[in-house]
């Protein structure tokens, strides 16, 4: 791993988390590579298994993830990722988010997805996954569209989590 600096992660209700991120173009080249390094460092330090650029205040369609960081690091960088196929079958698993620290809930999503993206060399790639990888891919791509995992919950459950988060963050500031 590179020794990249870490970046502050935005917390809900920061409005930048609700914006639709823009596609990355050729002109973004070097900036994207440096940003991906910093995002990976930030994700591993948090620690987390995925991070999307809007979470560090960059409105770009860039995602980093590593669903098994403790065993053997396998950092992935996805530029302009999009879901091109998803299963009719659904799966539920518990999710959390670095932008809603300490909050977790069961989220139901398609069990399997296929995602197309560009790697850092600009090569077209596809990844298909189920289980944790599927949930993580969908969760991070949601962030690029201003969507958070709590948006998949009932209004009642979502409001409970948002209230608890606000309380937790407030007591941390006082702490
Ligand atoms: Ni998240």
Confidence of residue 175 (pLDDT cuts 50, 70, 90): low
Query: Between residues 3 and 29, which one has the greater pLDDT?
Result: 29
Query: Between residues 173 and 140, which one has the greater pLDDT?
Result: 140
Which has the closest alpha carbon to 66: 116, 140, 2?
A: 140
**Mean pLDDT, to the nearest integer, of 46-66?**
97
Q: How far is the CA of 55 from the centre of ligand 1 (A)?
A: 8
pLDDT of residue 172: 85
Q: How far is the CA of 50 from the centre of ligand 1 (A)?
A: 7
- Rounded Cα gap, residues 35 and 43, in angstroms: 12
Q: How far is the CA of 40 from the centre of ligand 1 (A)?
A: 14
Task: Indicate whether 46 pLDDT > 60.
Answer: yes
Taking ligand 1, which is a single-atom ion, which protein residues have CB atoms under 5 Å away? 97
pLDDT tens track for 93-130: 999 999 999 999 999 999 999 999 999 999 999 999 99
pLDDT of residue 173: 80
Q: Which residues are marked as active site?
A: 140
**Mean pLDDT, to the nearest integer, of 46-56?**
97
Task: Indicate whether 2 pLDDT > 60.
Answer: no
What does pLDDT average to over the chain?
A: 95
Q: Which residues pair with 116 in a beta bridge?
A: 82, 126
Pairing of strands 50-52, 76-86: unpaired
Please report, for residues 93, 143, 165, 172, the alpha-carbon distance to residue 88 in angstroms, rounded to integers and kept in the order given: 16, 22, 32, 41
Confidence of residue 29 (pLDDT cuts 50, 70, 90): confident
Cβ-count burial 153-169 (b if 16+ within 10 Å, e if not): beeeebeebbeebeeeb
**Mean pLDDT, to the nearest integer, of 124-146?**
97
Instruction: Give percent above pLDDT 90 in the chain.
Output: 89
């Amino acid at each position: 791993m590179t020794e990249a600096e870490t970046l502050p992660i935005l917390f809900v209700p920061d409005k930048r988390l609700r914006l639709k991120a823009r596609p990355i173009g050729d002109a973004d080249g070097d900036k994207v590579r440096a940003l991906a390094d910093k995002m990976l460092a930030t994700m591993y330090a948090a620690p987390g298994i995925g991070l999307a650029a809007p979470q560090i205040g960059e409105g770009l369609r860039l995602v980093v993830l590593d669903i098994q960081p403790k065993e053997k690091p396998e950092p992935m960088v996805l530029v302009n990722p999009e879901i091109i196929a998803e299963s009719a079958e659904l799966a539920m698993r518990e999710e959390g988010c670095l932008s809603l620290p300490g909050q977790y809930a069961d989220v139901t999503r398609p069990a399997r997805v296929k995602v197309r993206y560009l790697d850092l060399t600009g090569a077209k790639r596809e990844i298909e996954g189920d289980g944790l990888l599927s949930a993580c891919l969908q969760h991070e791509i949601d962030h690029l569209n201003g969507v958070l995992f709590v948006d998949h919950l009932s209004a009642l459950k979502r409001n409970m989590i948002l209230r608890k988060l606000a309380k937790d963050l407030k007591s941390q500031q006082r702490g």
